[in-house]
């Protein structure tokens, strides 16, 4: 009696009792389905997150100004997470101190940092947000967010140019009124016409002016706009020279700067070093603000970790469902063996050994679990894909989870099938043949 | 004539050491030669079933020796007994005992599958056997699509699968009407005459036993008579 015949036999007996087989499988289907569903959603989310962050650049370290907490003022540097949560608390309670010109990160500071960490820093990208607004030519209309940027911004943020040039050194030194716009904005405002060299009227709450389009970049949806974006009122960035923006806002410093480290350098360690450097040299006497830095890499790591923990927790709950499903399988196998006592007796009379009878029923239990598992995997991927698309990111089935689930259902079959199969194997052939 | 079954002083006791201990078989001696067609008859409670179980290597005697085709079956382990049943004995049951949801062909193949005969040869032999019992046209039918007589013919083909030393038939016509019963008996006669099979028929029917060559009568666990039968010609109805 070989494996193929046993498998065929197992399917034959499943088909003979379809309703019973489906009900038995239900526990396994629900258990496996929910694990796979959660895993698919989690993987889709983390896959999407890491690809977005990859786009933003894993070598990026973001430097930003943060308000000091009470604790901070007294004790100096402490636990960073604690500081962050305390800061959030302080913000919620409304105890915010206004940022003034003297608190901002200046060009001089950046020049100093660049010199100090010359072997790690690839380039520094500075931006200054003017505000959100819109552009219109009377008939057509598009939302935008106006941003002053340095030359390196294009590299640091992996902006992909479609046509023309990004903001250059000359634009900055001359504080020119030039703009780089997204392909989406071009599509809306200019249709198929070539936008390069065209004038565009941009207006925000505090500023309005006419700019010349010098470049078009490919728009890519980022993390922040996952669910708010619809094509109709999509707001895209319009980049203008940093110096031009500084003039508008009347400020020479920045609230946040992105430093791109050289490939292969430890950006997480660099983030700590650069934050300490800023705080020790430039912000040591600042009572209200300090500098914090985080790397994309460490952020990605901690988010992935968080997701993995969540997945494990949900999988543990699903494991309970699988346990219940397994007990259901064992129960049905015991019923089936009782019903088929005479068959077992006959098989023994025809020369089946105890081992062969045991194998036959274990395989039957494994087939029930495996078929249930496969249905569960299909259902789980379906649900996960629906969930992922509802949340607005591309679905991504977890191969690892599928393999794990198939393996796990087999193990459940083996474990819960063994006892009934062994009971069948140990039946006395004479009693079994006489069973009514 | 070669001896196929040699039972020496076989005793089977139940409830040993208890006050209700009893001997289902008591000092039974039976010898059956190759190619014989023998009937074992007796009232219910005479020890027929116990004798059949021991003869069929489904059970072990409490005392005595049992040689089947030269093998000492007496005290073999379960695993070895399975092998003996598989290769040396072909069972035919009163209730047919075909495996449901398996075609006639697959049912006949089953003992060969347990004997690890390769698939192709199995199917070929099963087809031949079904042809011998006149079931060639219904090979792919499942047991629930067959009549009682047809089922028993498939069961006989299955009993022949591994070319066993003996065919052990326990009331093979018990669940059939007399006409169908005669048809089934005809197959046994055919196997006996044409294939030279050793057949042991266990029955309570004197009429059926009369069709065999030798009749062993059991009462209260002991052989009380051994008579010659009149063979196929002895059929009364």
Q: Is A39 inside any structural domain?
A: yes
Residue with tokens 């085709």: B69
Q: Is B68 inside any structural domain?
A: no
How many Cα atoms sit within 13 Å of A373 on the Cβ side? 23
CA dist., res. B74 & res. A98, Å (int) = 101
**For A390-424, what is each residue's pLDDT tens digit?**
877 777 777 888 898 889 889 999 999 999 999 99
Q: Is B51 inside any structural domain?
A: yes
Does B78 contact A353 at a Cβ distance shorter than 8 Å? yes
For the residues B98-117, what does the mean pLDDT come to?
Answer: 93
Say yes or no: A250 and A306 in one domain. Answer: no
Q: For chain B, how many structural domains are there in total?
A: 1
The domain in which residue B193 lies consists of: 38-60+77-234
A5 touches chain B (CB under 8 A): yes
B115 pLDDT more than 90 = yes
Say yes or no: A244 and A142 in one domain. Answer: yes
Chain B: nearest CA to A426, how far in angstroms?
10
Residue A366 has what pLDDT? 93
Please, which pLDDT band fits residue A226 given cuts at 50, 70 and 90?
A: very low
**For A364-390, what is each residue's pLDDT tens digit?**
999 999 999 999 999 999 988 888 888
DSSP state for residue A69 in the 8-state scheme: P
For the residues A156-161, what does the mean pLDDT come to?
Answer: 82
Cα radius of gyration rounded to whole Å, chain A: 32
CA dist., res. A319 & res. A310, Å (int) = 14
Q: Looking at the partner chain, which of A13, A353, A430 has a beta carbon nearest the beta carbon of B58?
A: A430
Say yes or no: A314 and A384 in one domain. Answer: yes
**For A50-81, what is each residue's pLDDT tens digit?**
777 766 667 788 888 888 776 655 554 445 55
Contacts of A182 (CB under 8 A, 6+ apart): A216, A217, A218, A219, A236, A237, A238
Residue A227 has what pLDDT? 44
* Number of CB pairs, chain A paired with chain B, less than 8 A apart: 65
CA dist., res. B178 & res. B97, Å (int) = 20
Say yes or no: A328 and A217 in one domain. Answer: no
**For A329-350, what is each residue's pLDDT tens digit?**
999 999 999 999 999 999 999 9
Say yes or no: A419 and A321 in one domain. Answer: yes
CA dist., res. A216 & res. B233, Å (int) = 108
Chain B: nearest CA to A434, how far in angstroms?
10
Residue B156 has what pLDDT? 95
Please, which pLDDT band fits residue A143 given cuts at 50, 70 and 90?
A: confident
Q: Is A102 inside any structural domain?
A: no
For chain A, the first-to-last Cα distance in angstroms comes to 27
Residue A322 has what pLDDT? 86
Say yes or no: A244 and A306 in one domain. Answer: no
For the residues A90-110, what does the mean pLDDT come to?
Answer: 70
In chain A, pLDDT over 70 holds for what percent of residues? 89
Helix then strand count (H, E) for chain A reads 15, 10
Q: Is B216 inside any structural domain?
A: yes
Residue A122 belongs to what H/E stretch?
strand A121-136
Say yes or no: A247 and A135 in one domain. Answer: yes
Look up the CATH number of the domain holding residue B54: 3.40.50.300
Residue of A375, A363, A354 lying closest to A333 (CA atoms):
A363
Q: Is A196 inside any structural domain?
A: yes
Residue A77 has what pLDDT? 45
Residue A2 has what pLDDT? 76
Chain A: nearest CA to B169, how far in angstroms?
12
Residue A353: closest C-alpha in chain B: B82
ipTM: 0.94
Q: Is A164 inside any structural domain?
A: yes
The domain in which residue A176 lies consists of: 127-254
Q: Looking at the partner chain, which of B86, B101, B114 has a beta carbon nearest the beta carbon of A12?
A: B101
Q: Is B127 inside any structural domain?
A: yes
Does B82 contact A352 at a Cβ distance shorter than 8 Å? yes
Q: For chain A, how many structural domains are there in total?
A: 2
Among residues A218, A235, A254, which one ends one of the domains? A254
Residues A80 and A292: beta-carbon distance below 8 Å: yes
Say yes or no: A430 and A309 in one domain. Answer: yes
Interface of B with A in 43-82 (CB under 8 A): 53, 56, 58-59, 78-79, 82
Contacts of A296 (CB under 8 A, 6+ apart): A53, A56, A57, A58, A59, A60, A61, A62, A267
Say yes or no: A324 and A232 in one domain. Answer: no
For the residues A232-245, what does the mean pLDDT come to?
Answer: 84
Does B99 contact A343 at a Cβ distance shorter than 8 Å? yes
**For A300-325, what is each residue's pLDDT tens digit?**
788 888 888 887 887 788 888 888 88
Residue B137 has what pLDDT? 93
Say yes or no: A308 and A428 in one domain. Answer: yes
| Least confident range of A163-167, B137-141, B159-163 | A163-167
Say yes or no: A153 and A239 in one domain. Answer: yes
């Amino acid at each position: 009696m070989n494996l193929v015949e046993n498998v065929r036999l197992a399917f034959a007996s499943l088909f003979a009792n379809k309703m019973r087989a489906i009900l038995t499988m239900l526990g396994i289907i629900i258990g496996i389905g929910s694990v796979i569903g959660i895993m698919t959603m989690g993987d889709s989310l983390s896959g999407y997150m890491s690809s977005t962050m990859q786009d933003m650049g894993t070598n990026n370290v973001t430097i930003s100004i943060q308000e000091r907490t009470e604790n901070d003022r007294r004790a100096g540097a402490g636990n960073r997470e604690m500081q962050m949560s305390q800061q959030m608390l302080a913000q919620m309670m409304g105890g915010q101190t206004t940022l003034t010109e003297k608190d901002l990160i200046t060009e001089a500071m950046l020049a100093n940092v660049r010199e100090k960490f010359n072997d790690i820093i690839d380039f520094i990208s500075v931006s200054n947000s003017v505000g959100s607004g819109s552009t219109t030519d009377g008939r057509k209309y598009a939302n935008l967010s106006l941003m002053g940027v340095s030359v390196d911004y294009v590299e640091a943020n992996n902006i992909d140019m479609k046509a023309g040039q990004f903001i250059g050194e000359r634009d900055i030194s001359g504080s020119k009124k030039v703009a780089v716009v997204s392909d989406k904005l071009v599509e809306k405002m200019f249709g198929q016409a070539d936008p390069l060299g065209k004038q565009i009227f941009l207006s925000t709450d505090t500023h309005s002016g006419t700019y010349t389009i010098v470049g078009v970049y490919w728009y890519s949806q980022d993390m922040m706009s996952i669910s708010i974006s619809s094509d109709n009122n999509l707001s895209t960035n319009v980049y203008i020279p940093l110096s031009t923006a500084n003039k508008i806002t009347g400020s020479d410093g920045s609230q946040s700067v992105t430093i791109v480290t050289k490939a292969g350098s430890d950006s997480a360690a660099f983030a700590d070093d650069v934050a300490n450097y800023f705080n020790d040299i430039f912000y040591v006497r600042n009572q209200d603000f300090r500098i914090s830095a985080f790397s994309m890499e460490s952020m990605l790591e901690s988010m992935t970790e968080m997701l993995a923990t969540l997945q494990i927790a949900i999988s543990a709950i699903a494991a309970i469902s699988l346990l219940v499903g397994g007990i259901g399988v064992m129960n049905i196998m015991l019923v089936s063996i009782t019903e088929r006592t005479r068959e077992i007796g006959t098989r023994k009379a025809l020369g089946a050994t105890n081992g062969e009878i045991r194998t036959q029923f274990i395989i039957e239990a494994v087939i029930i679990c495996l078929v249930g598992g496969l249905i569960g995997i299909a259902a789980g991927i379906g649900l996960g894909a629906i969930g992922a698309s509802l949340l607005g990111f591309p679905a991504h089935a977890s191969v690892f989870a599928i393999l794990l689930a198939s393996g796990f259902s087999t193990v459940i079959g083996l474990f819960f099938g063994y006892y009934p199969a062994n009971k069948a194997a140990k039946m006395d052939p004479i009693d079994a043949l006489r069973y009514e | 004539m070669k001896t196929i079954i040699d039972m020496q002083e076989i005793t089977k006791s139940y409830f040993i050491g208890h006050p209700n201990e009893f001997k289902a078989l008591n000092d039974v001696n039976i010898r059956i030669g190759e190619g014989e067609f023998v009937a074992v008859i007796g009232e219910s409670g005479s020890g027929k079933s116990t004798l059949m179980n021991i003869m069929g290597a489904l059970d072990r005697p409490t005392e005595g020796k049992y040689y089947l085709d030269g093998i000492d079956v007496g005290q073999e382990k379960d695993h070895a007994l399975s092998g003996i049943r598989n290769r040396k004995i072909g069972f035919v049951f009163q209730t047919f005992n075909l495996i449901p949801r398996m075609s006639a062909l697959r049912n006949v193949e089953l003992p060969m599958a347990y004997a690890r005969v390769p698939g192709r040869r199995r199917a070929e032999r099963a087809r031949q056997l079904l042809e011998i019992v006149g079931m060639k046209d219904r090979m792919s039918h499942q047991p629930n699509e067959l009549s009682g007589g047809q089922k028993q013919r498939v069961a006989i083909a299955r009993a022949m699968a591994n070319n066993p030393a003996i065919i052990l038939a326990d009331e093979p016509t018990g669940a059939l009407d007399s006409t169908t019963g005669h048809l089934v008996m005809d197959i046994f006669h055919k196997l006996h005459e044409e294939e030279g099979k050793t057949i042991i028929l266990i029955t309570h029917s004197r009429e059926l036993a009369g069709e065999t060559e030798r009749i062993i009568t059991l009462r209260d666990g002991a052989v009380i008579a051994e008579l010659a039968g009149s063979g196929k010609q002895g059929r009364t109805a």
